[in-house]
Protein backbone atom coordinates (compact mmCIF):
# COMPACT_ATOMS: atom_id res chain seq x y z
CA UNK A 1 0.00 0.00 0.00
CA UNK A 2 1.36 3.42 -0.93
CA UNK A 3 1.69 5.94 1.92
CA UNK A 4 -0.92 8.66 2.09
CA UNK A 5 0.53 12.03 0.95
CA UNK A 6 1.22 14.33 3.90
CA UNK A 7 -0.97 17.05 2.40
CA UNK A 8 -3.99 14.75 2.67
CA UNK A 9 -3.49 13.93 6.36
CA UNK A 10 -5.49 15.96 8.86
CA UNK A 11 -3.35 18.13 11.13
CA UNK A 12 -5.56 18.12 14.21
CA UNK A 13 -3.03 19.96 16.37
CA UNK A 14 -3.28 23.05 14.15
CA UNK A 15 -7.04 23.24 14.41
CA UNK A 16 -8.39 26.20 16.39
CA UNK A 17 -9.37 25.83 20.03
CA UNK A 18 -12.35 27.92 21.12
CA UNK A 19 -11.78 27.69 24.88
CA UNK A 20 -9.23 30.53 24.56
CA UNK A 21 -6.95 29.25 27.35
CA UNK A 22 -3.20 29.35 26.83
CA UNK A 23 -1.01 26.52 28.16
CA UNK A 24 2.20 27.39 30.01
CA UNK A 25 4.07 24.19 29.23
CA UNK A 26 3.31 21.32 26.90
CA UNK A 27 5.65 18.68 25.50
CA UNK A 28 7.29 15.38 26.39
CA UNK A 29 8.68 14.01 29.65
CA UNK A 30 10.64 10.96 30.85
CA UNK A 31 12.57 10.65 27.59
CA UNK A 32 15.90 8.93 28.22
CA UNK A 33 18.88 10.17 26.24
CA UNK A 34 22.69 9.77 26.43
CA UNK A 35 24.45 12.86 27.72
CA UNK A 36 27.99 14.14 28.12
CA UNK A 37 28.90 16.48 31.00
CA UNK A 38 32.13 18.05 32.19
CA UNK A 39 34.08 16.05 34.75
CA UNK A 40 36.76 17.81 36.79
CA UNK A 41 38.91 14.69 37.17
CA UNK A 42 38.45 13.08 33.76
CA UNK A 43 37.52 16.00 31.46
CA UNK A 44 34.12 14.48 30.61
CA UNK A 45 31.64 11.94 31.91
CA UNK A 46 29.08 9.98 29.92
CA UNK A 47 25.70 9.39 31.51
CA UNK A 48 22.02 8.89 30.66
CA UNK A 49 19.53 11.67 31.40
CA UNK A 50 15.79 11.69 31.87
CA UNK A 51 14.68 14.58 29.67
CA UNK A 52 11.65 16.87 29.61
CA UNK A 53 11.12 19.21 26.65
CA UNK A 54 8.29 21.75 26.74
CA UNK A 55 7.08 24.98 25.14
CA UNK A 56 4.23 27.40 25.66
CA UNK A 57 1.09 26.92 23.58
CA UNK A 58 -0.97 29.97 22.54
CA UNK A 59 -4.67 29.89 23.31
CA UNK A 60 -5.74 29.64 19.67
CA UNK A 61 -4.06 26.27 19.00
CA UNK A 62 -5.62 22.94 19.90
CA UNK A 63 -2.36 21.06 20.44
CA UNK A 64 1.38 20.88 19.87
CA UNK A 65 3.40 18.55 17.63
CA UNK A 66 5.00 16.03 19.99
CA UNK A 67 7.26 14.46 17.36
CA UNK A 68 9.06 17.75 16.80
CA UNK A 69 10.40 17.72 20.36
CA UNK A 70 12.04 14.35 19.85
CA UNK A 71 13.33 15.38 16.43
CA UNK A 72 14.98 18.47 17.91
CA UNK A 73 16.70 16.40 20.60
CA UNK A 74 17.94 13.78 18.15
CA UNK A 75 19.29 16.47 15.86
CA UNK A 76 21.80 17.27 18.61
CA UNK A 77 23.53 13.97 17.85
CA UNK A 78 23.71 10.55 19.43
CA UNK A 79 24.85 12.14 22.69
CA UNK A 80 23.84 15.55 23.99
CA UNK A 81 26.63 17.80 25.27
CA UNK A 82 25.81 20.57 27.72
CA UNK A 83 27.15 23.15 25.25
CA UNK A 84 24.27 22.27 22.89
CA UNK A 85 21.49 23.14 25.34
CA UNK A 86 20.93 26.68 24.02
CA UNK A 87 20.94 25.32 20.45
CA UNK A 88 18.27 22.82 21.51
CA UNK A 89 16.15 25.57 23.08
CA UNK A 90 16.35 27.70 19.94
CA UNK A 91 15.41 24.72 17.80
CA UNK A 92 12.32 24.07 19.95
CA UNK A 93 11.09 27.66 19.70
CA UNK A 94 11.55 27.65 15.93
CA UNK A 95 10.03 24.21 15.26
CA UNK A 96 7.06 24.77 17.56
CA UNK A 97 6.60 28.49 16.79
CA UNK A 98 6.82 29.19 20.52
CA UNK A 99 7.92 32.22 22.52
CA UNK A 100 9.28 30.14 25.39
CA UNK A 101 10.99 26.73 25.59
CA UNK A 102 12.18 24.68 28.55
CA UNK A 103 14.56 21.73 28.74
CA UNK A 104 15.08 19.72 31.93
CA UNK A 105 17.67 17.00 32.39
CA UNK A 106 18.14 14.75 35.42
CA UNK A 107 21.01 12.28 35.46
CA UNK A 108 23.35 10.35 37.78
CA UNK A 109 26.82 11.83 38.22
CA UNK A 110 29.55 9.60 39.63
CA UNK A 111 32.53 10.52 41.78
CA UNK A 112 35.35 8.29 42.91
CA UNK A 113 35.93 8.83 46.62
CA UNK A 114 38.72 7.54 48.83
CA UNK A 115 37.95 6.39 52.36
CA UNK A 116 39.44 8.81 54.94
CA UNK A 117 41.90 6.40 56.62
CA UNK A 118 42.55 3.36 54.43
CA UNK A 119 42.21 5.23 51.14
CA UNK A 120 40.03 2.48 49.67
CA UNK A 121 38.20 3.94 46.68
CA UNK A 122 34.67 3.46 45.44
CA UNK A 123 32.17 5.19 43.20
CA UNK A 124 29.34 7.17 44.71
CA UNK A 125 26.50 8.63 42.65
CA UNK A 126 24.66 11.93 42.96
CA UNK A 127 21.54 13.08 41.13
CA UNK A 128 22.08 16.25 39.10
CA UNK A 129 19.54 18.44 37.29
CA UNK A 130 19.97 20.99 34.53
CA UNK A 131 16.96 23.29 33.98
CA UNK A 132 17.22 25.73 31.07
CA UNK A 133 14.72 28.21 29.63
CA UNK A 134 14.72 30.45 26.57
CA UNK A 135 12.16 33.27 26.52
CA UNK A 136 12.22 35.75 23.63
CA UNK A 137 15.97 35.31 23.25
CA UNK A 138 16.78 35.55 26.97
CA UNK A 139 18.11 32.37 28.55
CA UNK A 140 18.12 31.07 32.11
CA UNK A 141 20.11 28.12 33.43
CA UNK A 142 19.92 26.44 36.86
CA UNK A 143 22.12 23.60 38.10
CA UNK A 144 20.89 21.43 40.96
CA UNK A 145 22.82 18.79 42.89
CA UNK A 146 21.10 16.35 45.24
CA UNK A 147 23.62 15.34 47.87
CA UNK A 148 23.21 12.73 50.64
CA UNK A 149 24.95 13.68 53.89
CA UNK A 150 25.26 12.58 57.51
CA UNK A 151 24.08 14.81 60.35
CA UNK A 152 24.38 14.42 64.11
CA UNK A 153 21.95 16.15 66.46
CA UNK A 154 23.56 18.85 68.66
CA UNK A 155 20.74 18.59 71.22
CA UNK A 156 21.10 14.83 71.53
CA UNK A 157 24.85 15.21 72.03
CA UNK A 158 24.35 17.89 74.67
CA UNK A 159 21.89 15.95 76.81
CA UNK A 160 23.08 12.34 76.39
CA UNK A 161 25.70 10.58 78.50
CA UNK A 162 26.41 7.96 75.84
CA UNK A 163 26.54 9.09 72.23
CA UNK A 164 24.08 11.06 70.14
CA UNK A 165 21.57 10.14 67.48
CA UNK A 166 22.52 10.72 63.86
CA UNK A 167 20.90 10.18 60.51
CA UNK A 168 21.29 10.53 56.81
CA UNK A 169 20.00 13.68 55.23
CA UNK A 170 19.48 14.90 51.70
CA UNK A 171 20.37 18.35 50.44
CA UNK A 172 18.89 19.76 47.23
CA UNK A 173 21.11 22.65 46.20
CA UNK A 174 20.29 24.82 43.16
CA UNK A 175 22.36 27.70 41.79
CA UNK A 176 22.50 30.31 39.05
CA UNK A 177 25.94 31.65 38.15
CA UNK A 178 27.87 34.11 36.02
CA UNK A 179 30.74 31.80 35.06
CA UNK A 180 30.63 27.99 34.75
CA UNK A 181 30.76 26.03 37.99
CA UNK A 182 31.91 22.45 38.49
CA UNK A 183 29.36 19.90 39.65
CA UNK A 184 32.05 18.48 41.93
CA UNK A 185 32.59 21.85 43.62
CA UNK A 186 28.87 22.22 44.37
CA UNK A 187 28.80 18.72 45.87
CA UNK A 188 31.87 19.46 47.98
CA UNK A 189 30.37 22.74 49.22
CA UNK A 190 27.35 20.82 50.51
CA UNK A 191 29.36 17.99 52.04
CA UNK A 192 31.63 20.39 53.91
CA UNK A 193 28.55 21.94 55.51
CA UNK A 194 27.27 18.68 57.06
CA UNK A 195 28.44 16.64 60.04
CA UNK A 196 30.15 14.21 57.69
CA UNK A 197 30.07 13.18 54.04
CA UNK A 198 29.07 9.71 52.83
CA UNK A 199 31.29 7.07 51.25
CA UNK A 200 30.65 3.88 49.31
CA UNK A 201 33.57 1.88 50.78
CA UNK A 202 34.50 2.03 54.48
CA UNK A 203 36.73 -0.37 56.38
CA UNK A 204 36.71 -0.44 60.19
CA UNK A 205 39.32 2.32 60.65
CA UNK A 206 37.34 4.47 58.21
CA UNK A 207 34.07 3.79 60.01
CA UNK A 208 35.65 4.87 63.29
CA UNK A 209 36.95 8.06 61.67
CA UNK A 210 33.65 9.14 60.07
CA UNK A 211 31.66 8.31 63.22
CA UNK A 212 33.96 10.47 65.32
CA UNK A 213 34.01 13.22 62.69
CA UNK A 214 30.22 13.43 62.80
CA UNK A 215 30.25 13.44 66.62
CA UNK A 216 32.75 16.31 66.64
CA UNK A 217 30.67 18.32 64.14
CA UNK A 218 26.99 18.22 65.17
CA UNK A 219 24.51 20.18 63.01
CA UNK A 220 20.79 20.75 63.11
CA UNK A 221 18.98 20.89 59.78
CA UNK A 222 18.93 24.67 60.36
CA UNK A 223 22.73 24.68 60.74
CA UNK A 224 23.10 22.70 57.55
CA UNK A 225 21.22 25.15 55.31
CA UNK A 226 22.87 28.13 57.00
CA UNK A 227 26.33 26.64 56.49
CA UNK A 228 25.61 26.14 52.80
CA UNK A 229 24.19 29.67 52.51
CA UNK A 230 27.33 31.17 54.08
CA UNK A 231 29.58 29.29 51.67
CA UNK A 232 27.36 30.28 48.74
CA UNK A 233 27.56 33.94 49.74
CA UNK A 234 31.36 33.75 49.50
CA UNK A 235 31.30 32.32 45.97
CA UNK A 236 31.38 35.25 43.55
CA UNK A 237 30.26 33.16 40.56
CA UNK A 238 26.99 32.20 42.29
CA UNK A 239 24.30 34.85 41.83
CA UNK A 240 21.29 32.94 43.24
CA UNK A 241 20.84 29.82 45.29
CA UNK A 242 18.13 27.69 46.82
CA UNK A 243 19.09 25.11 49.42
CA UNK A 244 16.72 22.54 50.90
CA UNK A 245 17.73 20.03 53.55
CA UNK A 246 15.71 17.09 54.80
CA UNK A 247 16.94 14.85 57.61
CA UNK A 248 15.51 11.33 57.68
CA UNK A 249 15.24 11.23 61.45
CA UNK A 250 16.39 8.07 63.23
CA UNK A 251 14.40 8.48 66.47
CA UNK A 252 11.29 10.28 65.17
CA UNK A 253 8.53 9.21 62.80
CA UNK A 254 8.87 12.50 60.92
CA UNK A 255 11.64 14.25 59.01
CA UNK A 256 13.26 17.58 59.81
CA UNK A 257 13.27 20.17 57.00
CA UNK A 258 14.70 23.62 56.26
CA UNK A 259 15.02 25.88 53.19
CA UNK A 260 16.87 29.07 52.29
CA UNK A 261 16.54 30.89 48.95
CA UNK A 262 18.55 34.00 48.18
CA UNK A 263 19.15 36.18 45.13
CA UNK A 264 22.50 37.88 45.62
CA UNK A 265 21.67 40.34 42.83
CA UNK A 266 18.60 41.69 44.58
CA UNK A 267 18.79 45.33 45.60
CA UNK A 268 19.20 45.79 49.33
CA UNK A 269 16.40 47.79 51.01
CA UNK A 270 17.21 51.41 51.70
CA UNK A 271 17.74 52.41 55.30
**Of 240, 29, 256, nearest to 165 (Cα)?**
256
Output the average pLDDT for the chain. 92
Torsion of CA 81, 85, 87, 92, to 10 degrees: 130
Beta-bridged to residue 45, according to DSSP, are 37
pLDDT given at position 231: 98
Contact assessment for residue 259 and residue 242, using Cβ atoms and an 8 Å cutoff? yes
Confidence of residue 168 (pLDDT cuts 50, 70, 90): very high
pLDDT given at position 4: 59
Confidence of residue 3 (pLDDT cuts 50, 70, 90): low
pLDDT given at position 271: 45
pLDDT given at position 10: 67
What percent of the chain shows pLDDT beyond 90? 81
Residue 254 has pLDDT above 90, yes or no: yes
Within 10 angstroms of residue 123's Cβ, the number of other Cβ atoms is: 10
Residue 222 has pLDDT above 80, yes or no: yes
Q: How many helices (H) and strands (E) does the chain have?
A: 6, 10
pLDDT in tens, 224-252: 999 999 999 999 999 999 999 999 999 99
Separation in Å, CA 143 to CA 1, 139, 172, 229: 50, 14, 10, 16
Separation in Å, CA 111 to CA 53, 61, 172: 28, 46, 17
Confidence of residue 266 (pLDDT cuts 50, 70, 90): confident
pLDDT in tens, 195-221: 999 999 999 999 999 999 999 999 999
pLDDT given at position 50: 97
pLDDT given at position 17: 73
pLDDT given at position 60: 85
Instruction: Report, as an integer, the average pLDDT of 257-261.
Output: 98
Confidence of residue 5 (pLDDT cuts 50, 70, 90): low
What percent of the chain shows pLDDT beyond 70? 93
Amino acid sequence: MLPTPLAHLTDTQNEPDFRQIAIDRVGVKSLRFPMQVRDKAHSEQHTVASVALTVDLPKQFKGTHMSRFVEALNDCGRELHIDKVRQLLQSLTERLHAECAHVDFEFPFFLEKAAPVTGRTGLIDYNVRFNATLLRGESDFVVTVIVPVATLCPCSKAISDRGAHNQRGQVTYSVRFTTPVWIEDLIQLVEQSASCELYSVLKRPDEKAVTERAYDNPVFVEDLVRNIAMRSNREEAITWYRVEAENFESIHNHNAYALIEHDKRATLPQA
